[in-house]
Chain A
Amino acid sequence: MFDFLEGYDLLGAFWVTVQLTVYSAIGSLIWGTLLAAMRVSPVPLMRGFGTAYVNVVRNIPLTVIIIFTSLGLYQTLSITLGAKDVTDINFRLAVLGLIAYTAAFVCEAVRSGINTVPVGQAEAARAIGLSFSQVLGLIVLPQAFRSVVGPLANVLIALTKNTTVAAAIGVAEAAYLMKEMIENEAELLLISAVFAFGFVCLTLPTGLILGWVSKKVAVKR
């Protein structure tokens, strides 16, 4: 029944999906947190940049961003992100696009987390002489993150599925292989079902584990 799978590197394709997800998740967590820090900073220029970035980037379709990384950054501006062959270049460009896009959502999740931290926490931290970055890094963000594990899990699940857009610039991840198989094989429903199942296998544990983590790390007040 699953003969049609022969000759295709299904695991390899999903491995690329996992890699896209992991690199993009790490990158967008860092960049998104920096953006959130900008949005709550006392410097108006940084606040302005953070706000403008989030509102521009989250309103552009991901497909447009991913295609821009290839057509705009690589083919027009010859940015290769240090990679030599075209497979690596496309992979890195896709990660860059996914980070740029996902960070806007991470930023908003983290910022909503920052808003759950009572203002007295930051005041007490300032009162013992901590600097702005120490107040944020030692007191506010650790508490903010604990309250947004759930929303961040949503962002991570969306990111996992969004990696399929990388197929648009030729990254050989799961959706790219699916398209190839659909062109060559007859079992269209089964092929879709197999790939749907593959993604559920990736995202369902993510949601369950992070749901558990969310309860575990919640700050008691």
Chain B
Amino acid sequence: MTEVSVTKDAVPAADDLVVLKNVNKHFGALHVLQDIDLTIARGEVVVVIGPSGSGKSTLCRAINRLETIESGTISIDGKPLPAEGKELARLRADVGMVFQSFNLFAHKTVLENVTLGQLKVRKADKKAAEEKARALLDRVGVTAQADKYPAQLSGGQQQRVAIARALAMDPKVMLFDEPTSALDPEMINEVLEVMQQLARDGMTMIVVTHEMGFARSAANRVVFMADGKIVEEAVPDQFFSNPRSDRAKDFLSKILHH
């Protein structure tokens, strides 16, 4: 692999929401994040793609400190990520996260999943929380399932509930960690549609995904990672039609034409 200098076509606006500077992390001997610099502007949709093990999930999880970092800084809305405790919890409430395996609270109903954070973190009153939860469940198209338990829902429905749960906190930014990778093919679109709508509504989103169609249609910028480094950053059209790095060309040639 030839080393390519990181190219930046999409110049971030002045209003930076998430800023990563010189971030490093190891898993044992593996240098999973290497000098990561990344800035995401308010309202921007950034899609992170790359081969397995390239560190893109770790990057996503580091932004709300589900993974700790060893050096460098991550700041959200101008504030550096606190180490632990109440400060960190407060920051996490402002950062929505959607997981590959949904992670809905298994012992709570769909409605309770969406109201829990509002009640316990935002201290909203029960009636307001339920109203908001039902509105959000309506928005993601699972109103009818409100009183069921997660195990009774399909994967696609569970993931849409998970999105509603994150939205209930009125997050400043939403992180998606491979949100469709655990879904049956026919359920992927229902989740992507919700995400597309969210992008159109102006939500700031960082999406780790293998869905190139989503990257093309919804992203403002594509970040290509390989071996713990950001190899290329570009607007989607440019990246997919004319990738500059050999690593990205190689990756795209393997996933696109078949």
User: Which of A7-15, A83-91, A121-129 has 4 or more CB atoms under 8 Å from chain B?
Assistant: A121-129
Q: Is the CB of B106 within 8 A of A220?
A: yes
B70, CB-defined interface residue at 8 Å: no
Nearest CB in chain A to that of B119: its residue: A138
A128-144 to B contact mask, C-beta < 8 Å, 1/0 = 11110010001100110
The answer, yes or no, to whether A120 is at the interface (CB within 8 Å) is yes
Establish whether residues A129 and B89, one from each chain, have CB atoms under 8 Å apart when the complex forms.
yes
Interface size range on A against B: 20 to 34
For A143, give its contact among B64, B86, B107, B165 (CB under 8 Å). B107
A82 within 8 A of B: no
Using a Cβ–Cβ cut-off of 8 Å, how many residues does chain B contribute to the interface with A?
Answer: 32
Contacts A42-B84, A124-B99, A124-B105 given: A131-B92 contact, CB under 8 Å?
no
B64 nearest in chain A by CB position:
A127
Complex CA distance for A123 and B175, rounded to whole angstroms: 13
B92 touches A221 (CB 8 A): no
Contact among A42, A125, A131, A146 with B105 in the assembled complex (CB-CB below 8 Å): A125
Question: A193 interface residue, CB < 8 Å from B?
Answer: no
- Interface residues in B72-110 (C-beta closer than 8 Å to A): 84-86, 89-97, 99, 101, 103-107
A125 neighbours in B (Cβ, 8 Å) = 105
Instruction: Give the tally of cross-chain contacts (CB within 8 A).
Output: 72
Residues of B within 8 A of A200 (CB): none
Q: Which residues of B contact A139 (CB under 8 A)?
A: 105
Contacts of B165 in A (CB 8 A): 124, 128
A127 to B152, CA, bound (A): 23
Name the CB-closest residue of A to B91: A129
B94 — nearest CB in chain A belongs to which residue?
A: A129
Asked whether, in the complex, the Cβ of A128 is within 8 Å of the Cβ of B103, the reply is no
Q: Please indicate the chain B residues that have their CB under 8 angstroms from the CB of A146 in the complex.
A: 107
**Could you tell me which B residues sit within 8 Å of A by CB distance?**
64, 66, 84-86, 89-97, 99, 101, 103-107, 116-117, 120-121, 149, 151-152, 162, 165-166, 169
12 contacts between A and B (CB under 8 A): A120-B99, A123-B99, A124-B104, A126-B66, A126-B89, A126-B92, A129-B89, A130-B89, A130-B121, A134-B120, A220-B152, A221-B151
